[in-house]
Structure 1
Amino acid sequence: MATLAVVVASPIILETIYAPDRDYSVAGDVGQAYGGASAVVGAIALLVVAASVLLQYRQHGAQRAESLGRFNEELVALAMENPKYRQCWGARVSPQDVDEDLFYYCSKLIKMWTQAWELHRIDERQAREYLKNFFDSEIPRLFWESHGDWHRRGAARSPADRFRELVNEEFLLAKKGGAPSRAYEVFPPAGAELSGPRTTIEQ
């Protein structure tokens, strides 16, 4: 800011210092220096503008991603609250004999842990503990078997990609370790008489 103020005020300063009968060759030298300073100020201003535009672009992209995430959450919530809307998504997200709500819920759990990972709220040890317990149940295994990307793994380019790699690794370890300790349980609809869960999928 100080350099900019000096550059702007320099013509007035020159007029005050140099009278009509003075040697203007000195003023010419100062003028050349003034031109160099203007170039420096112009370059700095250009860099500031470019940095500002880049920052605004990134902020706009982050806001759009956040808005898209919220919209997706609203659609999933609507499908969970009103099962009739699920047919608009296409084929069933779960096998015919598995309640789709369970797959929607698994998706929400994975998204929650992914966001916690991106915000550095959980570390790798905690993430693996959560996922190991997650895949010790039949429904999460069925969900990731159908909707995970464990069979086409690639290089992790972002924190979210890295977390999905952890999910894939724990899923494959769970499958290698044998059957889950918790089989699929069917509960009666809300409001119906509760007689306890029953297992419907044979191992």
Structure 2
Amino acid sequence: MASLDTSWPLLAEVGQTYDAAAALLTALALLGVVGSLIMQAREMHIARMEGHRANHMELLRMAIDDPVYQRAWATSLPEFTQDHIRQHLYINLVMSFWSINFDLGTIFDSELQYQASALFQGEAGRRYWEVARLIRQREARGRQRRFVQIVDDEYRKAIDAGPAAISADAPASTPASGTLVSPDRARLFGIALGAAALIAAGAVTEHLLHNRTSRLR
């Protein structure tokens, strides 16, 4: 009996140890479930953003391609020519593309600064931001505040640097074959290459998001 009496405290300590371990494992399992739910909610939010972006891009493409839809914007852009409206809609499309990828973390501050600086070398980019900046500043939330701040800083730098280097209107004459590429065309080519790189990054992001959402179904 004496040996049994001395074993009860030991058994009690062992039981308490197992209880503590079980509680720790339960807490870890709960944290894993919470983390999984947070990740799923984030992925669903990103998927909704991608769907919204796709619809927005399609609407803008329709307006860019069809003069009938372009005239629907004439009341909000009364001083714009048809070419200016198309430029405005195109830049809005590019800006929205930058915005969604900045939210997703596929565009960093330095890349956004470079692209915005190149955009504001032209009259069309400056004209767009003059119209859109107050709206975007008012509606910015979360990381979008940082996005708008970076773009606006690059716009102010461009304005302080002097007149736009690239005209929004078509040149009066086309240079003959074999002539050197003008600085304006070189800048436009650089912007086009940058936009192509961002589009490629967006395509990869969209593919990854599609795979993630497929796993959630």
Q: What TM-score, normalized by structure 1, do the two folds share?
A: 0.61
1:69 and 1:156 map into 2 onto residues whose CA distance is 17
Match of 1:141 in 2: 126
Deviation sequence 1:104-125 (CA, Å, 0-9, x none):
11223334444666414x662x
Flag the structure with larger Rg.
1
1:54 is aligned to 2:38: yes
1:110 is aligned to 2:119: no
Q: Percent identity?
A: 24
Contact 2:60–2:90 (CA under 8 A) maintained in structure 1: no
Match of 2:106 in 1: 119
In 2 relative to 1, CA 156–55 (structure 1 residues): closer, same or farther, beyond 3 Å?
Answer: closer
**Root mean square deviation, CA, Å:** 3.8
* SS of match in other structure, 1:185: coil
2:165 and 2:21 map into 1 onto residues whose CA distance is 74
One-letter amino acid of the structure 2 residue matched with residue 42 of structure 1: T
CA drift of 1:89 comes to 6.4
2:158 and 2:60 map into 1 onto residues whose CA distance is 27
CA drift of 1:176 comes to 2.8
Larger CA deviation: 28-37 vs 63-72: 28-37
One-letter amino acid of the structure 1 residue matched with residue 36 of structure 2: S
Contact 1:150–1:168 (CA under 8 A) maintained in structure 2: no
1:71 and 1:39 map into 2 onto residues whose CA distance is 48
CA drift of 1:49 comes to 1.4
- Which ranges in structure 1 are unaligned for 5 or more consecutive residues? 1-21, 188-194, 198-203
Q: What TM-score, normalized by structure 2, do the two folds share?
A: 0.58
- Which ranges in structure 2 are unaligned for 5 or more consecutive residues? 175-217
Alignment: residue pair count = 166
1:38 is aligned to 2:38: no
Structure possessing the higher relative contact order (Cα contacts under 8 Å, 6 or more residues apart): 2
Contact 1:153–1:165 (CA under 8 A) maintained in structure 2: no
One-letter amino acid of the structure 2 residue matched with residue 64 of structure 1: R
Contact 1:78–1:85 (CA under 8 A) maintained in structure 2: yes
Match of 1:77 in 2: 61
